[in-house]
Structure 1
Amino acid sequence: MKFELYVALRYLFALRRNSFISVISVFAVCGVAIGVAALIVVLGVMNGFSNDLRDKILGVNAHVIVTAYGGKLDNYHHLVDKARKVPGVTGVTPFIYSEVMLSAPGGVKGVVLRGVDVDSASGVLSLPGDIRSGSMDSLKKKGKIPEIILGTQLANRLGLAIGDTVNLLSPTGTKSAAGFTPKVSVFRLGGIFRTGMYEYDSSLAYISNVAAQKLLGFNRDFVSGLEVRVDNVYAVDRIGAKLKKTLAGYPVSIRNWQQMNANLFAALKLEKTAMFIILAMIVLVGSFSIVTTLVMLVMQKTRDIAVLMSMGARRKSIRKIFMLQGTLIGLIGTTIGYLIGIPVALLLKKYQFIKLPSNVYPVDYLPVQMDLLDMTLIGVAAFLLCFLATLYPARQAAKLQPAQALRYE
């Protein structure tokens, strides 16, 4: 063991003899520990919130959307085959998008209508896994009354159950002597889904592409566009460029999930950064307590420092002794913070005992996702703040003159 570390440990363990300095050092450790624990939990929640929101958005929506400039995509079967051959693409499905009015005995509600191809949608969307009652295969049933799938919030609001019938009022209708008459079609509720996002569960409805074409009055086999799923959600720019090159010459527009939700995720990233800075202030308060502890210790150990310097200890060694002592206090606080923060975050992740109102937040529980990089940055930031707090007291200790310190001893 080096001389400086040995003396630093002796001074550290001797703090308990001086109750006042001991109390200040305990506050310093507690301040650093609370700050580190708070950073771990809060950043874990921010990561979990962002990832959960991303997964829910990418479950309902595809990673890449290919839409026609005119709103209707013709000869889309050929485009589906071409898109599936692009490297990185794992699934392609045609879709129809529109807004309609849904009426039921329990009330009337404007909904976003999504026409899907049942056979290929399961490889792109999370709808099959989100079904809580009924089945997605009900959309393939052939009968006089086509089937529809609604969100849980929407079904509960209108008092609907599996097998009930609803009316869809299409924006496309017919002109008559009495004026414009909207087209009304009857659908049977064949499934109820739940994504966990109130916005989707309260305003989204799925029917088959064939039923959507009839409802919207498409006179040909048109769709609104193609939904594309990729193997790496963070490589959508690169894969989107390949898709654009492959589909060059067709009147289509290609957008990915990052472009469509750029403002949302930029705001989440900014909020995470702001929370990190705010909570790092708690660690900073703890580091100020380290400054106080070391300054008072230097004043108490003036004679010891003078004796050490008289015996040949260099100023560099004296400075290192107090830097090591303050760093050890910070290391203890950081370690305790990890021992508190990680178990709390894991408990929140496992038991989800903090529930959120689903009509206010996009998720109905407090998600937690701990990231190794964030955990490392928390430890490095806490350790660096504690280290910087030792510089001034250590430098003052190294400036002591042995002759003046021992003059009145």
Structure 2
Amino acid sequence: MKFELFVALRYLLTKREHSFISVISLMSVLGVGLGVGALIVVMGVMTGFSTNFRDKLLGMQSHMITGVRGAPLRNYERYMQKLSAVPGVAGVTPIIYAEVMLSRGGSPKGVILRGVDTETADNVLTVGKDMVEGSLDALGQDSEVPGIVLGKELADMMALTVGGQVNILSPSFRGSAVGFTPRVKIFRVVGIFKSRIYDFDSSFVFVSLASAQQMLGFKPDTAMYLDLRLADLDATNEMAAKVERAVGGPPFYVRTWIDMNGNIFAALQLEKLGLFVVLIMIVLVGSFSIITSLMLLVMEKTRDIAILMSMGATAQIIRRIFLLQGVIIGVVGTTLGFALGLSTAWALKEFQFIKLPPGVYPMDHLPVLIRGHDLALIALTAFGLCFLSTLYPAGKAAALKPAEALRHE
């Protein structure tokens, strides 16, 4: 064991003349530990919430869309084959999108209609997994009255159940003896989904691609755009360039989930950063306690320091002794915080004893997701603050003059 480490451990572990210093050192360790533990839990919850929310949001939308600017996409199957061959594209499906009026018994409601291909929709959208009644595949069944799938909130709002019928007024008009009138088509409810995101559950309806083409006046080989699911969301920007090259560039456009929902996720990231800054203050308080305890220790051990220096210990050795004491406090506190934070995060994830009110959040329990880079950032920040706290006391100890220190003893 090196001389500096040996002396530093003796100063920390042996009984001191003033027990008050030991109490401050203990409070320093606890302060750092509580701060690190709180950071791990809060960062895990924030990461889990944003990831869960992102998965729910992108399950109803898509990771990426591509189409022709200002015009429908003709012969979409050819482009689907090209995009399916792009490495990193996990699924492609055609979509027809329109804002329509849904009515039943004289109570109209504006909704967003999406015409989907039931054979490929499950490769991109998660609405099939969110069904609480019926199924998305029922949209493709041959019937005189085409099927429709709606959100749970919308179904409750309009008192609809599976088997009920609704009217849809489309924005396309047809000529008649009295002028132009909106197209009206009757649909039968074949499924109800619940994504737990209110805007989707109260405003989204799904019909088959063929029904949407017929109602909105599209030709059979036409869609508005293609929805894509990516194998890796972190490679979104890189994949956007690949997809654009695959479809041939302008007049095609490519929009990613970041383009379409950037404000939402930027707000979540800002909130996470704000909480990190607030909670790091707890670690900062612990690091200030390290300064106090080391300064008091320097005052208590002035004679010992002077004797060590008179026996040949250099200022660098004295500085390293007190730096090591602060580092040991920081390491012990950080380790304690990791044990506390990781065990609490595991308990929250495993037992789910904190429930969230249904209908308010897109999940029914507090989500927790621990990521390695978050843990590394927390550890480096806590250890860095503890190390910086040792610089001033160590410098003061190294600056002592042996003759002056012993003269006052």
> TM-score of the superposition, structure 1-length normalised?
0.92
The aligned residue for residue 286 of structure 2 is: 286
The aligned residue for residue 45 of structure 2 is: 45
More displaced stretch, 388-397 vs 362-371:
362-371
CA 1:106–1:357: 2 relative to 1, 3 Å: farther
Confirm whether residue 258 of structure 1 aligns to residue 258 of structure 2.
yes
CA 1:319–1:219: 2 relative to 1, 3 Å: closer
Aligned-pair CA distance for 1:291? 0.4
The aligned residue for residue 120 of structure 1 is: 120
CA 1:26–1:157: 2 relative to 1, 3 Å: farther
More displaced stretch, 310-319 vs 175-184:
175-184
Q: Secondary structure at the match of 2:191?
A: strand
CA distance in 2, matches of 1:17, 1:216: 88
CA distance in 2, matches of 1:206, 1:403: 87
8 Å Cα contact 1:15-1:21 kept in structure 2: no
What fraction of aligned residue pairs are identical, expressed as a percent?
53
CA distance in 2, matches of 1:82, 1:403: 84
Q: How does 1:143-292 map to 2 (within 5 A)?
A: 143-176=143-176, 180-218=180-218, 221-248=221-248, 251-292=251-292
Aligned-pair CA distance for 1:57? 2.4
More displaced stretch, 219-228 vs 204-213:
219-228
The aligned residue for residue 142 of structure 1 is: 142
CA distance in 2, matches of 1:244, 1:200: 29
Letter in 2 for 1:195: S
The aligned residue for residue 317 of structure 2 is: 317
CA distance in 2, matches of 1:271, 1:257: 20
CA distance in 2, matches of 1:396, 1:238: 53
Alignment: residue pair count: 409
The aligned residue for residue 62 of structure 1 is: 62
Q: Secondary structure at the match of 1:118?
A: coil
8 Å Cα contact 1:199-1:362 kept in structure 2: no
Aligned-pair CA distance for 1:13? 1.5
8 Å Cα contact 2:195-2:362 kept in structure 1: no
More displaced stretch, 321-330 vs 69-78:
69-78
Q: Which runs of 4+ in 1 moved over 4 A?
A: 175-180, 357-364
CA distance in 2, matches of 1:336, 1:249: 55
CA 1:107–1:341: 2 relative to 1, 3 Å: farther
1:39-85, Cα deviation, whole Å (9 max, x unpaired): 11111122112222221222122222112223422222222222223
1:112-147, Cα deviation, whole Å (9 max, x unpaired): 111000011121221222222211211111111111
Letter in 2 for 1:32: V
CA 1:71–1:53: 2 relative to 1, 3 Å: farther
1:193-249, Cα deviation, whole Å (9 max, x unpaired): 222322222211111011112222335543111112232222233333233223227
The aligned residue for residue 406 of structure 2 is: 406
Q: Secondary structure at the match of 1:98?
A: strand
Aligned-pair CA distance for 1:104? 3.2
Gaps of 5+ in 2: none
Confirm whether residue 391 of structure 1 aligns to residue 391 of structure 2.
yes
CA 1:49–1:139: 2 relative to 1, 3 Å: same
Aligned-pair CA distance for 1:250? 7.0
Q: Secondary structure at the match of 2:44?
A: helix
Q: Secondary structure at the match of 1:113?
A: strand
The aligned residue for residue 78 of structure 1 is: 78
Gaps of 5+ in 1: none
Q: Secondary structure at the match of 1:261?
A: helix
More displaced stretch, 275-284 vs 390-399:
275-284
Q: Secondary structure at the match of 1:125?
A: coil
8 Å Cα contact 1:197-1:363 kept in structure 2: no
CA distance in 2, matches of 1:385, 1:224: 55
Letter in 2 for 1:281: M
Q: How does 1:299-310 map to 2 (within 5 A)?
A: 299-310=299-310
CA distance in 1, matches of 2:407, 2:188: 98
CA distance in 1, matches of 2:223, 2:250: 14
8 Å Cα contact 2:96-2:223 kept in structure 1: yes
1:296-354, Cα deviation, whole Å (9 max, x unpaired): 11111111112222222222111111111121112121111111111111222233333
The aligned residue for residue 337 of structure 2 is: 337
Letter in 2 for 1:228: L
Query: What do you get for the CA RMSD once the two structures are aligned?
Result: 2.2
8 Å Cα contact 1:65-1:254 kept in structure 2: yes
Q: Secondary structure at the match of 1:122?
A: helix
